[in-house]
Amino acid sequence: MDLSLITFVQILVAVIAIICLMVANAVVMVYVERKVAGFIQRRPGPYEVGPWGTIQAICDSMKLLAKQIFVPANVDLVLFFLAPVLAFFPVLLLFLPIPFGPYLTPWKTPDGLVLILAFAGFGVLSNLLAGWASNNKYGVLGAARAVSQSIAYEIPLMLALMAVVFQAGSLNLSVIVEKQGWVPWEWNIVTQPLAFFIYLICLVAETNRAPFDLPEAESELTAGFHTEYSGMGFALFFLSEYANMLLVSFICATFFLGGYKGPIIDGFWWTIIKAYAVMVFIVWIRWTFPRVRFDQLLNINWKWLLPLGLLNLWITAIIIKVVN
Amino acid sequence: MAETTRTIVPQDGIGQAKSELLPPIINLRPINWFFDINRAMSLWPVTFGLACCAIEMMSASMARFDIARFGAEVFRPSIRQADLMMVTGTVSKKMAPAVVRLYEQMPAPKFVLAFGNCAISGGPFKFEGQYGVVEGVDKLIPVDVYVPGCPPRPEAILEGIFSIQEKITGFRWWPKAEEIKS
């Protein structure tokens, strides 16, 4: 690996651009989520603050910025303030190997998927630290749930992505996109429908979104691992949640939906459109399905998704061996 | 922002809220004005209902009245992330310590809306010799806006939120009901 000056500058520029993307994405997605929730429940959603409520998310973020940061008694101060930062910053790294466009890849590394899967665990670590450090029983319970859920769902997620990797023969995300065509029946969603289905369930569980939002289940644990966080600590958790959503949507678009390929002309706009379609889908299922119980959540994973993922991987391997 | 300084009549055995409002570190008028408007436009209530008036609070957040239009539909389950506490219903003496503790746990720019006659004065439960009900939540915690009614209609809760917005920013943001000609 040659880390020349040009690569370094390229990564630096990419990191700054990704930070802007993450913050802008959070502001847009807060608005989109509340609006979509409103439409699903037959009400207009945010409407009066700005034209059609467009500056609602900015008002919320400014309010959270000026809110008192409350530190409860007997917390572990270092971990308490480290956890939101740790939730936010490792997500930056995960955007680096994603091919946004044919020429717009922050870092073209041959081991892109390994990088993503290796650093995806940091989100869970931050949830665990947040729950543990805040000296709150709901926090600890939420953190324990977050850990068991994320560790369980990382396995079928990896198996689903490995099936695509077998097919493409590379861990490089740009190569995986290049192997797909621009029309929908040349995408991996057609050749790997089961893997896509497993990945779709796992991405909802990995990002702790409803119906799998057990770590912050409002009806049982007050707010789960971020019960004691107010102001910007809470805002950073919110930001990292939307950044994680954006990340899994981009991976979904890259692996299954043809990435930057599309009709007329290839480019980053197709990646963005596909990723945001997946994001709206995640929001849609959040406001449609009720929350599952925790034993149901783990049963879905260990009894269904994991065997199905293994079976899918096995069949893919056999077919590839036979065809070659 | 209008400060809530009010002497609270102590109730025996319950205790009342102690809270101090520190002055802002950067006390400049345009900055305060800017943040006050943002605070007024995103009042997140806490998921907290004491009695039947809470049904009207739920009704206000549903499709017909839709509190979300004014950015106040984010009901936070944790009090640390909420700004507005709607005391909806009868405050019994057994519940009073919990109400006071919830108020004390809320981070600083915090507002209280006493919703319904019971929360304002004890309502129908105020009579000679009663022993179980706190006669008005303002004996426990400072209240910003009172919304009368038994129970108040969901429009009244919207009006209460407008009054809190007016109290924060010193400006009435939305037209009054009697000014609108249908």
Q: Is the pLDDT of residue A314 over 50?
A: yes
Q: Is the pLDDT of residue A49 over 70?
A: yes
pLDDT over 90, % of chain B: 0
- Cβ-based neighbours of B130, under 8 Å, separated by 6 or more: B122
The mean per-residue pLDDT over the stretch A84-113 comes to 84
Q: Are A117 and A171 in contact (CB under 8 A)?
A: no
Tokens of A120: 């995806």
Residue B133 DSSP one-character state: B
Question: Do B83 and A63 count as a contact with CB atoms less than 8 A apart?
Answer: yes
Question: Do B66 and A38 count as a contact with CB atoms less than 8 A apart?
Answer: yes
Question: Do A234 and B80 count as a contact with CB atoms less than 8 A apart?
Answer: yes
Q: Is the pLDDT of residue B69 over 60?
A: yes
The mean per-residue pLDDT over the stretch B52-74 comes to 87
Q: Which of B41, B66, B80 sits opposite A228 (nearest CB)?
A: B80
Q: Is the pLDDT of residue A1 over 60?
A: no
Task: Tell me what pLDDT residue A208 has.
Answer: 84
Task: Tell me what pLDDT residue A198 has.
Answer: 92
Query: A310 pLDDT band (50/70/90 cuts)?
Result: very high
| B172 inside 8 A of chain A by CB | no
What's the gap in Å between the CA of A273 and the closest CA on chain B? 27
Q: Are B152 and B53 in contact (CB under 8 A)?
A: yes
Query: B182 pLDDT band (50/70/90 cuts)?
Result: low
Whether residue A211 is preceded by a cis peptide bond, meaning omega within 30 degrees of 0, is: yes
Terminal Cα-to-Cα distance of chain A (whole angstroms): 31
Q: Is the pLDDT of residue B7 over 50?
A: no
| B69 inside 8 A of chain A by CB | yes
Task: Give buried/exposed letters for A110-140 (b at 16+ CB in 10 A, else e).
Answer: eebbebbbeebebbbbbbbbbbbbbebebbb
* Residues of B with Cβ-Cβ distance to A218 under 8 angstroms: 47, 77
Query: A87 pLDDT band (50/70/90 cuts)?
Result: confident
Tell me which range, A4-8, A64-68, A306-310, B11-15, is most confidently predicted by mean pLDDT.
A306-310
Rounded distance between C-alpha atoms, residue B107 and residue A70, angstroms: 6
Find, among B131, B133, B113, B132, the residue nearest to B123 by Cα: B133
Q: C-alpha angle B10/B93/B91, rounded to 5°? A: 95
Extents of the domains making up chain B: 45-170
Burial status of residue B92 (CB atoms within 10 A of its CB: 0-12, 13-18, 19 or more): middle
Q: Are A242 and A25 in contact (CB under 8 A)?
A: yes
* Residues of B with Cβ-Cβ distance to A49 under 8 angstroms: 41-42, 70-71
Question: Do A59 and B78 count as a contact with CB atoms less than 8 A apart?
Answer: no
Q: Are B96 and B131 in contact (CB under 8 A)?
A: no
What's the gap in Å between the CA of A91 and the closest CA on chain B? 24
Query: B21 pLDDT band (50/70/90 cuts)?
Result: low
Find, among A302, A257, A300, the residue nearest to A276 by Cα: A257
The mean per-residue pLDDT over the stretch B155-181 comes to 85
Q: Is the pLDDT of residue B59 over 70?
A: yes
pLDDT over 90, % of chain A: 15
We find that the CATH architecture of domain B45-170 is 3-Layer(aba) Sandwich (3.40)
Rounded distance between C-alpha atoms, residue A71 and residue B65, angstroms: 36
Rounded distance between C-alpha atoms, residue B112 and residue A177, angstroms: 55
Mean pLDDT taken over chain A: 86
Question: Do B47 and A227 count as a contact with CB atoms less than 8 A apart?
Answer: no
Q: Which of B37, B42, B68 sits opposite A38 (nearest CB)?
A: B68
ipTM over 0.90: no
With tokens 């389950």, the residue in question is B77
Task: Give buried/exposed letters for A163-195 (b at 16+ CB in 10 A, else e).
Answer: bbbbbbebbbbbbbbbebebeeeebbbebbebb
